[in-house]
Amino acid sequence: MLSLRDQACLVGVGETRYCRAPGSGVSELELMLDAARAAIADAGLRPGDVDGIMAPIWGGSAEDFAANLGIENLRYAAQVNMGGASAVVSLQSAAMAVAFGAARAVLVPFGWNGYSGRRVRGADLAELAQEMARFESSVGSAIRDYYVPYGLASPAQWYTLFARRHIHEFGTPPEALGAIAVACRKHAQGNARAVMRGRPMTMEDYLASPWICEPYRLLDCCLETDGAAAVVVTAADRARTLAQRPVFIAGVAEGHPYPADDFVNRPDLLTIGLTFAAPVAYEMAGLGPEDADFAQIYDCFTFEVLHQLEEAGFCRRGEGAAFVQDGAIELGGRLPINTHGGLLSQAHVGGMNHVVEAVRQLRGQAGAAQVAGARVGIVTGWGDFGDGGLAVLRSDG
Amino acid sequence: MSDAFARPLPRLAGYAAEFYAFCRRRELRFQRCSGCGRWRHVPRTLCAGCGSDAWEWARSAGTGRIHTWSVTHRPMHPAFLEVPYAVVVVELDEGPRVVTWVRDVAPAALAVGMPVAVDFEDVTDAVTLPVFRPRR
């Protein structure tokens, strides 16, 4: 069987400014076009050089991008619809497309007006119906018929059901979740784009923050921000001719928990898409979690970072609390995570900002957050009811 | 008071209509595969275990235990503004798990494994939801 290992590279990355108030003032498509142009230029390419698009889960179709960027011969257009896992899992499709020549350069954008756009809490009836329809199109109708009638409507409420099981089975203390929040906030202090730069957090601050949905406190929850990020993927041999040090997609895989649309009837609530995807990505890469110099873990909520560290094999199930404490996941520690501040403290860009930060680390362009000698990094994606993806990225230094 | 945020209801079509029609009659029923006897929820067309498309609505004894829960402190949906409220996952003795409310127990007193039994609440004149109460 052919291997995808090292066949494709991330060659360009781009980001908009990330903000909360007063909002971006522009549409998600405009944000993504901004990020896309930056990523294309970063690669040393022109917009017309792009001939493949992984359409984002919302905000713009492949045709929107093609028309605005002047892509007259779009040869590969596809979409991954896995919520926040889409950014990482899209790399799988992009890599396959360029490896086999279906496209020469694939653009993968993501953008969200999470701050200024509609949000369930503040929505009016029409906006609410639209938001629920958006959930349903991604997770199915079980949520409408069997969850929402009981007021179980939002990710914070869904995932706390997993967190409570973990606490029950392993005694996971709040300080473990706090260690994750504190680490991401610490990393944000050194990141110029981070929305929470200038707002440091201590463990005392974390423990004092109010409940959102027990066991999540306010400081367990990701930001809602406006912004976009994008990356460009080409085949490896082309990457070597372009502007930046190539970052190889050594391994990438997609995983879905079972059943995907009704998580309460899973035999084990802690088995997630990542549980299946991680070993596949490691096998493809010939690299494992022990080889990672850093990990950008999809941090919609702190518990989900701990959960993913376990399911991706950085530690055993139930050992996550011990793994994240005593500075182990901070810069300078055994496994720095979310070196940009993550969704928790940089911005919520559907995890595309995690891909961008991983590329920067592997190029040696991470500035004050640079993990010295970084050669291998892992990025995870998480979406919907625990769909997941994992990419192993590496560079030659 | 505006009814613009009337509580969200199940869509009474297909299998959900059948499930909730039984709830209206105060019966908690789940699909049970006629091929292998496995109970399942949410309703499906096929048995994922044996592949059979034959099934019946089998009546649950209505007893089970708490599997997990969450307590919402900040409203997440405009129809559910009275906080805090707990949403609970109950595992029925027959195997299926449901999202539900457990009445007569303060959120702080919930515990994994707590034994409960089903009851029914009419939330509109068309929709009845199964809820649970502690049992000894």
Share the mean pLDDT of chain B.
95
Per-residue tokens: B54: 């034959």
pLDDT of residue A122: 60
pLDDT given for residue B103 in this prediction: 98
Q: A332 CB near a chain B CB, below 8 Å?
A: no
Asked if residue A231 lies in contact with residue A12, where contact means CB atoms within 8 angstroms, the answer is yes
pLDDT tens for the 397 residues of chain A, in order: 899 999 999 999 999 999 999 999 999 999 999 999 999 999 999 999 999 999 999 999 999 999 999 999 999 999 999 999 999 999 999 999 999 999 999 999 999 999 998 665 566 767 777 777 777 777 788 999 999 999 999 999 999 999 999 999 999 999 999 999 999 999 999 999 999 999 999 999 999 999 999 999 999 999 999 999 999 999 999 999 999 999 999 999 999 999 999 999 999 999 999 999 999 999 999 999 999 999 999 999 999 999 999 999 999 999 999 999 999 999 999 999 999 999 999 999 999 999 999 999 999 999 999 999 999 999 999 999 999 999 999 999 7
Q: Write down the pLDDT at residue B2.
A: 44
**B77 in contact with chain A, both atoms CB, cutoff 8 A:** yes
Query: How many angstroms separate the CA of residue A214 from the nearest CA in chain B?
Result: 5
- From the list A149, A210, A265, which residue is nearest B9 (CB)? A149
Q: Hey, are the CB atoms on A164 and B79 less than 8 Å from each other? A: no
Whether the CB of A23 is below 8 Å from some CB of chain B: the reply is no
Distant-in-sequence contacts of A145-149, Cβ < 8 A, 24+ apart:
A145/B10, A145/B11, A145/B16, A145/B42, A146/A262, A146/B10, A146/B16, A146/B42, A146/B98, A146/B99, A147/B99, A148/B8, A148/B77, A149/B7, A149/B8, A149/B9, A149/B10, A149/B123, A149/B127, A149/B129
Q: Which amino acid is at A109?
A: P
Q: What would the pLDDT profile of B41-84 be if each residue is shown by its tens digit?
A: 999 999 999 999 999 999 999 999 999 999 999 998 889 999 99
Q: Does B23 touch chain A (CB under 8 A)?
A: no
Beta carbon pairs, A and B, within 8 Å: 117
φ and ψ of B67, to 5 deg: -100, -40
Please identify among residues 249-278 of chain A the ones whose CB lies closer than 8 Å to any CB of chain B.
Answer: 261-262, 264-265, 269
| Identity of the amino acid at A261 | D
Pairing between strand A211-214 and B85-92? unpaired
CA distances, B134 to each of A177, A357, B100, B131 (Å): 31, 50, 13, 11
- Calculate ∠ Cα A140-B68-A208, nearest 5°: 105
A118 CB within 8 Å of a chain B CB? no
Please check the confidence at residue B3 and state whether its pLDDT lies above 60: no
pLDDT digits (tens, 9 = 90+) for A113-142: 999 986 655 667 677 777 777 777 777 889
HEC profile for chain A?
A: CCCCCCCEEEEEEEECCCEECECCCCCHHHHHHHHHHHHHHHCCCCHHHCCEEEECCCCCCHHHHHHHHCCCCCCEEEECCCHHHHHHHHHHHHHHHHHCCCCCEEEEEEEEECCCCCCCCCCCHHHHHHHHHHHHHHHCCHHHHHHHHHCCCCHHHHHHHHHHHHHHHHCCCHHHHHHHHHHHHHHHCCCCCCCCCCCCCCHHHHHHCCEEEECEEHHHECCCCEEEEEEEEEEHHHHCCCCCCCEEEEEEEEECCCCCCCHHHCCCCCCCHHHHHHHHHHHHHCCCHHHCCEEECCCCEHHHHHHHHHHCCCCCCCCHHHHHCCCCCCCCCCCCECCCCHHHHCCCCCCHHHHHHHHHHHHCCCHHHCCCCCCEEEEEEEECCCEEEEEEEECCC
Instruction: Using DSSP, state whether B132 is helix, strand or coil.
Output: strand
Contact status of A130 with chain B (Cβ, < 8 Å): no
Contact indicator for A251, A283 with CB cutoff of 8 Å: yes
- Range B31-39 average pLDDT: 97
Beta strand pairing status for A226-235 and A8-15?
Answer: antiparallel
3-state secondary structure of B48: coil
Q: What backbone torsions phi and psi does residue B31 show, to the nearest 5 degrees? A: -70, 135
User: Which chain B positions have a beta carbon within 8 Å of A261's beta carbon?
Assistant: 42
Using an 8 Å CB-CB cutoff, list chain A residues near B7.
149
Give the residue-averaged pLDDT of B25-47: 97
Q: What are the tokens at B15? A: 């299998």
* Cα distance between residue B111 and residue B88, in whole Å: 10
Question: Using alpha carbons only, what angle is made at residue B94 by residues B92 and B98, rounded to the nearest 5 degrees?
Answer: 35
| Element holding B23 (H helix, E strand) | helix B14-24
ipTM: 0.97
Residue listed under structure tokens 């996952």 = B89
Q: Beta strand pairing status for A226-235 and A105-113?
A: antiparallel
Burial A73-95 (b: 16+ CB within 10 A, else e): ebebbbebbbbbbbbbbbbbbbb
In angstroms, the CA A23 to CA A241 distance is 38
Q: Cα B91 from chain centroid?
A: 10
CB A362 within 8 A of CB A374: yes
Mean pLDDT of B86-115: 98
- How high is the pLDDT of residue B1? 41
Whole-number Cα distances in Å, A84 to A80, A343, A386: 10, 11, 9
Instruction: Name the pTM for this structure.
Output: 0.96
Name the helix (H) or strand (E) containing B104.
none
